Amino acid sequence: MQLYILRSKNKITLVSAILIVGGFLSLWLLSAERVFEVALILASILGLAPIAIQAYQALRVKVVSIDLLVTIAVLGAFLIRNFEESAIVTFLFLFGAFLEQRTLNKTRSAIKELTEMAPESALKQMADGEFVEVDVEEVDVGDILLVKTGAKVPVDGTVLTGVGSINEASITGESVPVAKEAGSYVFAGTILDNGTIQVVADRVGEDTTFGRIIELVEEAQDSKSEAERFIDRFAKYYTPVVLVLSFIVWLFSRDIELAITILVLGCPGALVIGVPVSNVAGIGNGARHGILLKGSEVISDFSRLDTIVFDKTGTLTAGEPSVAETQYYGDHIGEVLGYLASVERESDHPLARAVLEEIGETTFSDVSDTEVVKGGGIVATVNGKRVAVGNVALMDREQVTLSDTARADVERFEQNGNSLVLMSVDGELKVLMGVRDQIRSGVKEDLQRLKRLGVKNLVVLSGDNQGTVDLVSRQLGLSEAHGNMLPEDKSAYVKRLIEEEGQIVAFVGDGVNDSPSLALANIGIAMGGGTDVAIETSDVVLMNSDFGRLPHALGLTKATARNMRQNIIIAIGVVLLLLASLLFSDWMNMSIGMLVHEGSILVVILNGMRLLRYRLRR
């Protein structure tokens, strides 16, 4: 019976409203005082039932809840035959709970949208080669799946055949379709806008990126921040204090109506709901913008950051070496680049891949007599010519004369943080290339936005040599730069900032070697394209490794913390105003107080919901 009543709260609220309106209309239009009284009595009893049940259930676990305050107040009003007060108070309390639940559901719309995007079926290749539609739960790692235009990709996997463009907004937050072909990686929950592809399943079910996003957001929204736990403790002790205060007022004044009114006006409903709604709305906004905040606890520290420490490779830089500078010597450069490409395609070194990408389409020649010089490079014969590709030491070994101009170019390239690739043909220098990891597009502007948001120190730590790290630091305007650092050196640096200097530190990284620092920092921020270990260890994940989401994440947590404080001030201010009005004015009564009280709950909820529309101003 109790369960049925609680499930029917909204229906009871509606019936109570009808009874109250009907009662007042019968009094005003027909002067039927008896009908008026009966209608309000029924409304009071109906409205009190779910409130009293909730109060009883709280008492069973030794919690004095707000529902108990309202129950005592309504019973008191009922006993002194103030049926107007008892009926209106119960209705307003139930109606406030209805509005609260309705608006809270809206703040959870981000996770609801995510779960609705989850694929339910897949076209799986059977033993006879035919594709049959099955539930997504029946797909295993290694299965081959067919995805047609307009369908959702059911798994994380690799494209085997076909081409198409996929909308990855559910994963990255970006609505621009991404081209996919054989060898491309695709994510569950994304939509194939056009084309047809076959995909081999690499991750299925809850192990997919999409499944992990849903799990992380659900955990985050269900967690409680330090502020929420404080409010819970506050409400636990505040409610008995209001009860005692009400009793003391009655004891001295013998005014039962005044004592009951204090119970109603003292309900801290807005205080209890204000902080959670801010947190949930903030986390929901982050999910919509490709930022996973793993719990309300993250918001407090993140909003008060002093220092952000960055790993360099894959965070500030793209993580893929590419040719940054080139210098050519002599004639027939097109033919020379063909020779260089022919030699470099024999190597799997990262610098070789960068050189091949820079050269692009060219004419390849047969390569013979290849000799790998340890710590130097490669020497080979191409079209009867002796070609050497490597560093300055290899050029010296091959007795290649470097002119004063070439030596000045070498020095300049090294100062710019490049790894050098030199190429000679028959003892004559032809090509000088500088290869380095390029800074991510837009990072400098994003770092400036972080400074404007109040971050005092921006630090880069890297295992690269100090010269390369200093170059990145100068280009980006960072506060500090430290090179030649092992993983343990990075975590020791973060620990020193926190323990010795008392700073609130965020660490941004993407690799397994970043995991100790991510775990040790006040806030660990992982790039979504990084390793699983880094993502699991972190407190915040930037989906699609989009560095540009970091300023939005910081601005969002600051706005959420600010919104939380606003809600606390509104809630406490309203309670103090109501009690002061009751004690020092004649116009305040129980019904007006309850109306203002429920209005304050609606105000803090609507204030919290503003966070759903938050966007960082550029």
pLDDT band at 110 (very low <50, low <70, confident <90, very high): very low
Secondary structure of residue 416 in the 3-state scheme: coil
pLDDT for res 199: 96
CATH 2.30.29.30 fits 319-438, yes or no: no
Interval 23-63: pLDDT, tens: 989 988 888 889 999 999 999 899 889 988 988 888 888 77
Interval 178-202: pLDDT, tens: 788 899 989 888 888 888 999 999 9
Secondary structure of residue 585 in the 3-state scheme: coil
Closest CA to 302 of 226, 228, 230: 226
Closest CA to 522 of 206, 299, 225: 299
pLDDT for res 173: 42
CB 277 within 8 A of CB 605: yes
CB 460 within 8 A of CB 316: yes
Q: Determine the Cα–Cα distance for residues 314 and 320; give it in Å rounded to an integer.
A: 8
CB 70 within 8 A of CB 51: yes
Mean pLDDT of 283-307: 85
CATH 3.30.2270.10 fits 306-318+440-553, yes or no: no
pLDDT for res 425: 93
Interval 521-531: pLDDT, tens: 889 898 876 55
pLDDT for res 231: 59
- Both structure tokens of 298: 């993250």
Interval 574-613: pLDDT, tens: 888 888 888 787 788 777 877 787 788 788 888 988 998 8
CB 94 within 8 A of CB 16: yes
- Both structure tokens of 307: 């220092």
Amino acid at 94: L
pLDDT for res 113: 56
Q: What are the structural domain ranges in the chain?
A: 2-108+220-278+562-613, 140-203, 306-318+440-553, 319-438
pLDDT for res 519: 78
Of 482-486, 532-536, 610-614, the one with minimum mean pLDDT is 532-536
Residue labelled with tokens 């030699």: 343
Interval 124-153: pLDDT, tens: 999 999 999 999 999 999 999 999 988 999
Kindly tell me if the per-residue pLDDT of 431 is higher than 90: yes
Of 137-151, 354-368, 405-419, 512-526, the one with minimum mean pLDDT is 512-526
530: DSSP letter: S
pLDDT for res 63: 73
Kindly tell me if the per-residue pLDDT of 469 is higher than 90: no
Q: Determine the Cα–Cα distance for residues 427 and 423; give it in Å rounded to an integer.
A: 9
pLDDT greater at residue 375 or residue 552: 552
Percent of the chain with pLDDT over 70: 85
Closest CA to 371 of 357, 350, 387: 387
Amino acid at 577: L
Closest CA to 188 of 131, 143, 122, 135: 122
Q: Determine the Cα–Cα distance for residues 570 and 276; give it in Å rounded to an integer.
A: 14
CATH 2.70.150.10 fits 140-203, yes or no: yes
Q: Determine the Cα–Cα distance for residues 66 and 87; give it in Å rounded to an integer.
A: 17
pLDDT for res 460: 93
Q: Determine the Cα–Cα distance for residues 579 and 588; give it in Å rounded to an integer.
A: 9
pLDDT for res 432: 95
What pairing do the DSSP bridges indicate for beta strands 480-482 and 457-461? Answer: parallel
Kindly tell me if the per-residue pLDDT of 117 is higher than 70: no
CB 346 within 8 A of CB 380: yes
pLDDT band at 176 (very low <50, low <70, confident <90, very high): low
pLDDT band at 445 (very low <50, low <70, confident <90, very high): very high
Q: Determine the Cα–Cα distance for residues 576 and 582; give it in Å rounded to an integer.
A: 10
Q: Determine the Cα–Cα distance for residues 186 and 163; give it in Å rounded to an integer.
A: 12
Name the residues annotated as catalytic. 311
